[in-house]
Structure formats: C-alpha cells, structure tokens
C-alpha cells in the first residue's frame, strides 16, 4: 500500500491525516496545537510524521497546506498568521524527514481536493473559494492547480470589491490594512461587523445572522441580501478573467443556504448588464467540508 500524509497548518492548530493513495480511504487523523516557534514547529511535524509512519507501517509521502503564498519553487512567501516560519520551510522539512515534501496554499489545497474527487470533479475549470474568517480561493484546470509564478493565482480576497455600488463599500476596513476588498465585505467577521453596526442586539458569529434572518429579523435579511449581491458581482469578475465551469464554496459562510438560491439569479442579471450575455452560474457547496484543505494537502503528492 502507498499512503500519503496531508497537513493543514493553521494559526491555532495543526491537523494531519493519512490516506490510502489508491482508495483515498482515511487511515489516521490527529490534531495538535500550533507551536509558537520554528524549532517546536519542526519537532511537531517530525513527531506527527513518525507517528503516522508507525501506524501505517511505511514511509508516507507528505503534503502540507499553509495559510500563506507559496511560490512555484515551493518557497513560503507570505505567512502573516505564522510569523515564526521561514521561506524555505519545504527544504527544512525535506532535510528533517529525508523525503520529498510538497507544499501549497491552504485554499489551493481545498481547490485541489474538490476538483479531484469533490464538488468540482470532472470539470474543466473550477474556481473554489473559502468564505470564512478570510476569503481565500484556488483555481484548477482539468484537476490541476493553477498557482502562477508567484503563487498568487486565485487570491481574490485582497482585490477591491468588483463593481462597487457605493462609497461605503470602498471604505470598509480589511484585515490587511486596506479598504474595500472582497474580504472586507464578504468574510464572516465582515458580516458580523456590518450587522452589529446596524443592530442594537449584537451577534457573535455569522451563523447567528443566518438564524435571525430565518426568524424574520429585517436587519439580518438586509445584511445577507447585500452580501449575496456583492458575491454575485465578485463572481462576475472571476468569470471575466477565467470563465470557470464551476464555482465551489467552502468555509463557514458556505453553509448559508440562501447563497445557492439568491446568488445565481443575481449573477445572471449582472452578466447580462455588464457583458451583454445570458450566463447561468453553476454554484456548488464543497463536498468535503472542513476536511477539504487537509485532503488536498495529501493530494499534492500526486500533482
């Protein structure tokens, strides 16, 4: 049996899983806190790989998903959530484990998982976006990642909200320090901020906004309807660049059912208005949920 290990590296936790490379059956999974310095980080990776090898009984191939920009040379170029990391983390891990290691951005791993055997399986071109704490995304062609020269392909979160309808949209703060970005307006923290600015009764997370909308809360309804409209405009901009067959959504916001009902007709309306064509949006919820990034990291071993 050939087995592959996937790592999902986050700011607070490291999750790993081992899969049978042929059947894709999950054989082992473990989650540990993310260390606070580089030496401890490396030691944690080594310990998890050693444990997985022991459980499986062989030396497994390794793929790692990071929350940062990864270049075509496997260099970690941007890693604000994990400031102790180093650019050539790939080389360091390979030397430590005495085996080849593949790394990619975590949203790219999510896209790879959904394109190979998830919601976008069989599609020619797929745009896979994570709507959660941030707005990451990945692009695949025939099941292969498009990462680009610098590793920034698909990173739509920090571009300006397409086709803004008001000065207010342009002024919304972003976690990067900028304003008016897609992530400024369409991430889970953004929706919470927008709702709490409008309502006396505050919410703690986006799920509460969705629940209040179902209960007839007018502010929640307006916040979500505006969100659907912005998302439709963002998808039109993506279509104007790569024209994907399929859009796949993951992350906490992807659980909001209204997205799949309200966004497609808005997309069609904007495509007709802006491009003069009738287009239907094929919008799908991720098949593998929160495991997409972890699975995709393992699938890097095949790419």
Tokens encoding 62 = 């390794």
Closest CA to 156 of 133, 176, 182, 132: 182
* Residues 133, 242 share a domain: yes
Compute φ and ψ for 170, nearest 5 degrees.
Answer: -70, -20
Residue 42 in domain: yes
In a domain, 62, yes or no: yes
For residue 117, is it within any domain?
Answer: no
Nearest alpha carbon to residue 105 among 84, 124, 141, 129: 129
For 38, the token pair is 């580089």
**Which candidate, 194, 267, 269, 278, places its Cα nearest to that of 234?**
267
Q: Do both 273 and 297 map to the same domain? A: no
Eight-state DSSP code of residue 286:
-
Query: 265 and 171, same structural domain?
Result: yes
Q: Is residue 191 part of a domain?
A: yes
pLDDT for position 44: 96
pLDDT by position in tens, the chain (length 303): 589 999 999 878 899 999 998 888 999 999 999 998 999 999 999 999 999 999 888 898 999 998 877 766 666 666 666 777 776 888 899 999 999 999 888 999 999 999 999 999 999 999 999 999 889 999 999 999 998 888 788 889 999 999 999 999 999 999 888 999 999 999 999 999 999 999 999 999 999 999 999 999 999 999 999 999 999 999 999 999 999 999 999 999 999 999 999 999 999 999 999 999 999 999 999 999 888 889 999 999 886
pTM of the model: 0.91
Same domain, 126 and 244: yes
Q: Are residues 281 and 174 in the same domain?
A: yes
The answer to whether residue 24 is domain-embedded is: yes
**Together in a domain, 232 and 142:** yes
107 and 134 inside one domain: no
CA 132 to chain centre: 8
pLDDT score recorded for residue 2:
86
279 and 296 inside one domain: no
Residues 258 and 127 in one domain: yes
Per-residue pLDDT tens digits for 183-229? 999 999 999 999 999 999 999 999 999 999 999 999 999 999 999 99
CA dihedral for 111, 117, 121, 122, sign (positive or negative): positive
Total domains present in the chain:
2
The verdict on residue 103 lying in a domain is yes
CATH number at residue 73: 3.30.420.40
One domain, residues 151 and 96: no
Strand extents, DSSP E, the chain:
3-9, 13-20, 26-33, 61-66, 69-70, 76-78, 101-105, 125-131, 135-141, 144-146, 246-250, 283-285
Q: Are 158 and 219 within one domain?
A: yes
In a domain, 281, yes or no: yes
Residue 116 domain-assigned (yes or no): no
Statement to judge: residues 165 and 281 lie in one domain: yes
For 83, the domain range is: 3-111+290-302
**Phi and psi angles of residue 169, each rounded to the nearest 5 degrees, phi first:** -60, -40
């Amino acid at each position: 049996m050939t087995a592959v290990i996937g790592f999902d590296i986050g700011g607070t936790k490291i999750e790993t899983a081992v899969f049978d490379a042929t059947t894709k059956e999950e054989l082992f999974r473990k989650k540990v806190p993310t260390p606070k310095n580089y030496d401890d980080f490396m030691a944690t990776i080594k310990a998890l790989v050693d444990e997985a090898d022991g459980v499986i009984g062989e030396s497994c191939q390794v793929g790692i998903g990071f929350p940062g920009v990864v270049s075509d040379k496997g260099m970690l170029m941007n890693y604000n959530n994990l400031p102790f990391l180093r650019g050539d983390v790939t080389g360091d891990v390979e030397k430590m484990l005495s085996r080849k290691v593949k790394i990619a951005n975590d949203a790219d791993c999510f896209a790879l998982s959904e394109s190979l055997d998830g919601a976008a399986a069989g599609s020619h071109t797929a745009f896979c976006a994570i709507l959660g704490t941030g707005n990451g995304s990945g692009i695949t062609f025939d099941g292969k990642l498009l990462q680009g020269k610098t590793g920034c392909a698909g990173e739509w979160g920090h571009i300006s909200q397409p086709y803004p309808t008001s000065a207010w949209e342009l002024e919304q703060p972003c976690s990067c320090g900028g304003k008016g970005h897609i992530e400024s307006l369409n991430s889970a923290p953004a929706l919470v901020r927008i709702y709490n600015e409008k309502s006396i009764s505050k919410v703690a997370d986006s799920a509460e906004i969705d629940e209040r909308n179902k209960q007839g809360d007018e502010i929640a309804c307006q916040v979500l309807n505006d969100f659907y409209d912005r998302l439709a405009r963002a998808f039109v901009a993506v279509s104007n660049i790569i024209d994907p067959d399929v859009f796949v959504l993951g992350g906490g916001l992807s659980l909001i059912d209204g997205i799949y009902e309200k966004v497609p007709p808005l997309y069609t309306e904007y495509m007709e208005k802006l491009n003069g064509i009738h287009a239907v949006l094929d919008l799908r919820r991720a098949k593998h949920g929160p495991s997409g990034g972890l699975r995709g990291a393992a699938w890097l071993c095949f790419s």
